[in-house]
Amino acid sequence: MSSRSPERVFYLTTPIYYINGPPHLGHAYTTIVADAMARYRRLAGDDVRLLTGTDEHGDKIAQAAARGGEPPQALADRNAQAFRDEWDALGITHDDFIRTTEPRHARVVQDILQALFDKGEIYFGKYGGSYCFGCERFYTDKEIVDGKCPDHQTPLTYIEEENYFFRMSVYQEWLRGYLERHPDVVQPDRYRNELLGFLREPLQDLSISRPTSRLQWGIPLPFDDRFVTYVWFDALLNYVSALGGPGAEDFRRYWPHVHHLIGKDILKPHGIYWPCMLKAAGLLRDDEARAELPGFARLRVHGYWTLGGGKISKSVGNVVEALALTRKYGNDAFRYFVLREMPFGQDANFTEDALVERLNADLANDLGNLVSRATTLIAAHAAKAPAGRVLTRDPGLEGAFRKGRAAVDAAMAEFAFHRALAAIWELITVVNQYVDSQQPWALAKDPGQTDRLVTVLGSLAEALRCLGLLLLPFVPESAARIRAAVGDRTEATLAAADFGRPWRSPEDLTAVQRLTGLFPRVDRTADTPTAGTPAATGPAGTATPTGRISIDEFKRLDLRVAEVVAAEPVPKSKKLLKLTIRLGDESRTIVAGIAEHYPPDALVGRKVVVVANLEPATLMGVASNGMVLAGSAGDALALLALDRDLPSGAKVR
């Protein structure tokens, strides 16, 4: 089976990230996913183009710059560089990095705006409505919750102004029909259903301008310089401007093969605005004319990482800290964890404990041990192989690799990275079992078994060579080390990962070098906890052998009943609330990641359970002194409550 098909072209984009802050876990996840996919398709022989970049205009950026007392361009320059540096540090292999403040982008945005205006797709009108500055969009009455933005839980501002509008409403039926007829354009399927859900409500025309009296930080409308372009209309077009715009050579080559990788938070602009914009601009083909344009800008949508829902002992406090764990554990371990842990499309919880668990179990134990024992055995006994003879391989392994490769291919076709890795790890298990059952160390002691020994060692070398190739997209640095250890200097291709290709001779076997410690085990009882960690688990040695804690260790937790006296959102955070609580006579501030589950007002006056002796930590600039306890399962979260009243400060045991 070969996945090599030189004709295939693959254009993959990430969202362009806002530069009002530095890169964090969420941005890194999407970019790592995109990179793994791009590397996989390149390995398969495709002509791949991977685009990422930064979204630099709009209110959000203008306000962040104003708060910091600097011009928006200076803020943009600094943070765009921070994104570039982070991607370099993570080894991301993007082919282009676009910034929306670049002239090459502004030119295409203005050209397309002018063309749409000339075609009558854009008109001047007046609109009044409730506006959220955080989301940079108007909310309809149906979407508003308790008079507030459903995302930010902040009050909305009523704004009435004259603006230019894109006639999006006329595309409603076209879009609905398209989504219904083509289930593959939005994956996983639940996100297509979500879009169809949006389309059950009448689609409004889209305001695509902002008056310069209110906002100057944007691309001027080419037909009226009293306005700048609405940031989403500007941002989405990066996918086209980075190819040089309609008509450019790269556009003709790559645009028909576009796949947009996005998080579920930006499904609506990508699944509703964007196809309508493309349709209006003539950048999508119609169903009938199956020509050179894509039928739809295909969307591949992933879920959200949440923090701290798991074990409280050593969880990370925020998304920037989570990304910093790449420095602590290495890029490959981090990549492996995020790709393996999150089923593509669903939410997952990020904890340092879970990362370390996978590092120790999957990487150090399964993969690292296999590489170490196999290369050690080969290096020790390769000289026994009779020269000048082609090595034979065990057919059992060949079948396993054939099946494994097909499973990886099928999973990658669906962006199911977790399944692709599970399939590779099944192979690793098969090869580890092969070593156990064949016992090459015993064969080596028996001169009558030399032939058998050489077959086993040759099969192991071949298995490592294939694994080195299959692992390249996911753990590139370690995979390259495996390839080097088995002496494979040939061009890396997926097609070459066919187990049993007749290339290996006994001389090759002697070129194999011992590779140990590919992923050293991490002992977390010995390491320093990250911010905001309680001392719930004792130092090394105090835990009982079963992994349970003693009653004395439990008693170190100071759990108390507390009364919430005030609650407000933490600025710029979707998830965090700042709570003022009373603990007996004492008043404290606690930051809790519950904003998506409880409106602040609903909490005031409630009794909750808190960990009172937690080390203080600063979250999004707010000092937090303690932790509120809640249960969680998947997306659901519930605060612990008392089933009858007790005074605040009461001890929980």
Residue 364 vs 619, nearer CB to ligand MSP: 619
Give the chain's length. 653
- Name the active-site residue from 57, 60, 94, 132: 132
Best CA proximity match to 373, nearest among 478, 475, 463: 463
CB 520 within 8 A of CB 364: yes
- Residue of 257, 311, 384, 574 with catalytic role: 311
- The structure tokens listed for 6 are 């030189």
Active site residue 276: no
In a 13 Å sphere around the CA of 442, the CA atoms on its Cβ side amount to 5
Q: From the CB of 342, what's the least distance to ligand MSP, in Å?
A: 8
- The residue among 244, 239, 217, 240 whose CA lies nearest residue 228 is 217
Q: Please list, in sequence order, all residues whose beta carbon lies within 8 angstroms of the beta carbon of residue 52, skipping any fewer than 6 positions away.
A: 13, 14, 16, 17, 31, 34, 87, 92, 94, 96, 97, 98
> Measured from the CB atom, is 245 or 458 closer to ligand MSP?
245
Task: State the virtual CA torsion across 130, 133, 134, 138 in degrees, nearest 10.
Answer: 30
Which of 57, 94, 135, 260 is catalytic? The answer is: 135
Query: Of the two residues 220 and 263, which places its CB atom closer to ligand MSP in the complex?
Result: 263
How near is the Cβ of 350 to ligand MSP at its closest, in Å? 8
Interacting residues with ligand MSP (CB under 6 A): 15-18, 26-27, 29-30, 55, 235-236, 238, 262-263, 265-266, 304-305
Rounded Cα distance between 262 and 484, Å, is 35
Closest contact distance (angstroms) between CB of 55 and ligand MSP is 3
Report the nearest approach of ligand MSP to the CB of residue 59 (Å). 12
What is the Rg, in whole angstroms, of the alpha carbon atoms belonging to the chain? 28
Please, what is the end-to-end C-alpha distance for the chain in angstroms?
Answer: 61
Active-site pick, 57, 60, 94, 152: 152
Task: Classify strands 96-99 and 122-132 as parallel, antiparallel or unpaired.
Answer: unpaired
Kindly report the CA angle at 31 between 80 and 401, in degrees rounded to 5?
155
Cβ pair 620, 570 in contact under 8 A: yes
27 or 524, CB closer to ligand MSP? 27
Of the residues 24, 94, 105, 279, which is catalytic? 24
Q: Which is nearer to ligand MSP, 30 or 101 (CB)?
A: 30
Which region holds residue 138: left if phi is over 0, alpha if psi is between -120 and 50, else beta? beta
Catalytic residue among 94, 105, 148, 149: 149
Tell me if residue 152 is catalytic.
yes
| Beta pairing partners, 608 | 562
Q: In whole angstroms, what is the distance from residue 491 CA to residue 483 CA?
A: 11
Q: How far is the CB of 226 from ligand MSP (least distance, A)?
A: 25
- Residues 503/496, Cβ–Cβ less than 8 Å: no
Determine the residue with CB nearest ligand MSP: 26
Cα(452)–Cα(394) distance, rounded to whole angstroms?
10
Nearest distance, CB of residue 15 and ligand MSP, angstroms: 4
Q: Tokens representing 98?
A: 């676009």
Task: Give the residue with the Cβ less far from ligand MSP, 56 or 488.
Answer: 56
Q: Closest distance between ligand MSP and the C-beta of residue 19, in Å?
A: 8
Is 132 among the residues known to form the active site? Answer: yes
Q: Which is nearer to ligand MSP, 377 or 416 (CB)?
A: 416
CB nearer to ligand MSP: pick between 266 and 620: 266
CB of 102 to ligand MSP, least distance (A): 15
466 among known catalytic residues: no
State the catalytic residues. Answer: 24, 27, 132, 135, 149, 152, 311, 314
